[in-house]
Amino acid sequence: MRLKKQEQLTVYPVWDKTVRIFHWVNVLCVLGLIAVGTVILNAKALGVTTDGKILLKTMHVYIGYVFAVNLAWRVVWGFIGSRYARWSAMLPVGAEYRAQLRAFIEGAKLGRKVGFLGHNPIARLMVALLLLLLSIQALTGLVLAGTDVYMPPFGNTIKEWVATDQFTVESVKPYSKEGIDEVAYKEMRDFRKPFITTHYYVFYILLVSIVLHLIGVVVTELRERNGLVSAMLTGKKVFAEKPFDVD
């Protein structure tokens, strides 16, 4: 009885340590923000007190700081990082992406798998969407931190805006009318509205996108078995044939 020849697998390094650290810090931050944010959204139904809401929002902001700094560093790393960490290898733009997309479509038509060491063309679209949504949440969240609980980076400016005068700025506190100019406060809340509306709806879009992302990862892992999931721990993938995007 002739034994089937075993496939020769080759290990390729792909995700550097910075990318892997970013990914898992981002996962933890997003989970924390979703959990605390959900409680805040349902605070009334859960019977959360005013002091409890202030505490929850303060926690949300502190997690948000870690999330924003981590995201900002990833943006920088996209310009100076390793080959597959760079924007040219991640976003759905440029000649390289068009070549990969053509190869991906042709492979699908022929029923032939085309391997990619970095993100495949469909994953690049999801990466772009997720980064856009995460960036919107980070930016709007920083504004809301200032307009809601008067926290940095805009909190002190907002306090100066709504205070009756320069002598009452320090007395301005979340959920308190002490030292507040009612007209200025209403103007501030009107200014805040588009940010809270955007933050609210993008939250739900992000939830759906995360679910789609996880489904895509699981399906790709089961279909290709190249170590897509484990690569975010080890930094390496395995292939029987040379990936399309290997130089």
Structure confidence by residue, pLDDT tens digits, 160-186: 999 999 999 999 999 999 999 999 999
pTM equals 0.93
Q: Is residue 244 part of a domain?
A: no
> Quick one: pLDDT at residue 6?
54
pLDDT in tens, 72-121: 999 999 999 999 999 999 999 999 999 999 999 999 999 888 999 999 99
Q: CB of 234 within 8 A of CB of 13? A: no
Q: Is residue 246 part of a domain?
A: no
CATH number assigned to the domain comprising residue 85: 1.20.950.20
Here the contacts of 209-215 (C-beta below 8 Å, separation 24 or greater) are: 209/126, 209/129, 209/130, 209/133, 210/30, 210/130, 212/126, 213/126, 213/130
Q: Is residue 214 part of a domain?
A: yes
Q: Is residue 3 part of a domain?
A: no
The range of the structural domain enclosing residue 53 comes to 15-239
CA distances from 198 to 29, 146, 245 (A): 19, 16, 37
Here the contacts of 183-186 (C-beta below 8 Å, separation 24 or greater) are: none
What mean pLDDT value characterizes the chain? 95
Q: Is residue 99 part of a domain?
A: yes
Q: Is residue 4 part of a domain?
A: no
Q: Is residue 245 part of a domain?
A: no
Q: Is residue 57 part of a domain?
A: yes
How many domains, the chain?
A: 1
